[in-house]
Structure 1
Amino acid sequence: MQLCTQAQLKDSGARSVKGQPIYTQDLPKADAKMRVLVVGGIHGDELSSASLALHWLQLAKEIPADAHWRFVPLLNPDGLLMSPARRTNANGVDLNRNFPTPNWEREAKIYWEQKVKRDPRRWPGPKPLSEPESKFLHDEMERFKPHLIVSIHAPYGVLDFDGPTAPPAKLGRLYLDQVGIFPGSLGNYGGVHKGMPVVTIELPSAFRTPLNAEMRQMWLDLLRWMGERLLKPADIQAPRKNNNF
């Protein structure tokens, strides 16, 4: 609760399926060379992801970086507030399979039916962007035009990456282990098809937030990688347009 108070989150105006507000916080910087979108709680049962986003929001205030930050600490409030918390939103949709990647109608269906055997936790929904939460994040990407998206998940304890530049080798104790491309995922949509690098963090535990020192080290490693790979003048450009929806 103290973290939420310190974050001074703002109501974005967007609502979840059950009418819960989706909160954001902007940390602009005059003449910032890049825009970074940080998203937690895409899956409601990954509580540590929302907690890390809030901790990082505080670090973004304390440690200078040449970036305009936009935080969405909890994209799926309905899933988190259920008892017990669940991965999907209130409509039973996995928001991280609901983004409009090319050939979604065919590929998402094949993935759900054949690869995960109709696992209800991974249902991609009836159509891309069928959910207000995924629609909000999609529209936020269009409005904000981030040069980098950081998507926080759990509990696989690895670092994943999609996009046109060299990935970070590690953040804190998390090392790069790219897990593949999934129809409708944010990494696939943003990193592969929109040209917005997407760093996907998989924390080791869905319920236990890393120690403060570890969260700080992950943040410092992220800033170092951004400076080395993304803040070179030749690398900073508007994300590519892609109408392949």
Structure 2
Amino acid sequence: MQRALCEAAQLQPTVARSVKGRTLWARDIKPDQATLRVLVVGAIHGDELSSAAVALHWIKLAGQMPVDTRHGIHWRFVPVLNPDGVFSASPQRVNARGVDLNRNFPTPNWARDAKVYWEKRTGKDPRRWPGPQPLSEPESQFLHNQMRGFKPHLIVSIHAPYGVLDFDGPSVPPSRLGRLYLDQVGVFPGSLGNYGGVHKGVPVVTVELPNSTRTPLDAEMRQMWQDLLRWTNERLGAGRDVAIETGSTGGFPPKLP
């Protein structure tokens, strides 16, 4: 991950920490008259490095939008939810306690379904262990708290490397973002899409990039961003026509909850 890209994102520390005590960083970009809240999350899985890079690039694009064409969207970006996985000696899917954070959310019947799925469907794959109980991990607790406090109207979760677009929840899903076409792959016990989209009624767009280590070309990331804005505008009532021309950057609070 390029140092310059991280610095340009102007991330702010939250009060949350990972298992190993690493700060969870975020960035808000908010117009004065924001009526819609969108939460963008990258690197839930620490070995999906491209997901964090795309989130950082999207921060740049969101900041470049002229103030009068931001559609009233309050963006909150969390580029790296799993820093311990990202910064381990060899990047790993799970967090520092070996938990797959994307199986750790409190979906109904989690105690039964998550265990059965892990044992029967994954063969007890250690990369997909859901943890001892829902929200057992500080990183999943942080994201859960963001959902409760920030109350997003849309969650965008960036992953890799399946090269498709997934969707859970109400509304008509986007048919494509850039080169990624809709291919709804189902829900999993404890997943963010299952918890947020199915059980909380918050649309969850899951972006599965084609490669976990290679960041898409700038033009491709821009096209995905344009398509996301267009769909958000059309389906969630975000405001005026989409534009991503350069302009002044958005403000952000000194510290996020």
TM-score of the superposed pair, with normalisation by structure 2: 0.89
More displaced stretch, 93-102 vs 2-11: 2-11
C-alpha distance in 2 between matches for 1:176 and 1:205: 17
Corresponding position of 2:21: 19
Structure 1 residues 88-107: aligned runs within 5 Å: 88-107=94-113
Q: Kindly tell me: are residues 2 and 232 of structure 1, through their superposed partners in 2, closer, same or farther at Cα, counting changes over 3 Å?
A: closer
Q: Which amino acid aligns with 1:215?
A: M
Q: Which amino acid aligns with 1:113?
A: E
Q: Which amino acid aligns with 1:108?
A: A
Structure 1 residues 61-210: aligned runs within 5 Å: 61-63=63-65, 64-66=69-71, 67-210=73-216
| Aligned alpha-carbon RMSD (Å) | 0.9
Q: Secondary structure of 1:112's partner? A: helix
> Quick one: percent identity of the two aligned structures?
68
CA apart distance, 1:54: 0.1
Corresponding position of 1:3: 5
Q: Secondary structure of 1:226's partner? A: helix
Q: Which amino acid aligns with 1:30?
A: D
Q: Which amino acid aligns with 2:19?
A: V
Q: How many residues align?
A: 233
Unaligned runs of at least 5 residues, structure 1: 234-245
Which digits, 9 at most, give the CA deviation of each residue in 1:134-193, with x for residues without a partner?
A: 000000110100000000000000000001100000000000000111000000000001
Q: Which amino acid aligns with 1:202?
A: E
CA apart distance, 1:232: 6.8
Corresponding position of 2:42: 40
C-alpha distance in 1 between matches for 2:17 and 2:228: 30
Corresponding position of 1:59: 61
Corresponding position of 1:237: none
C-alpha distance in 1 between matches for 2:214 and 2:108: 36
C-alpha distance in 2 between matches for 1:29 and 1:99: 31
TM-score of the superposed pair, with normalisation by structure 1: 0.94
Task: Show structure 1 runs of 4+ deviating over 4 A.
Answer: none
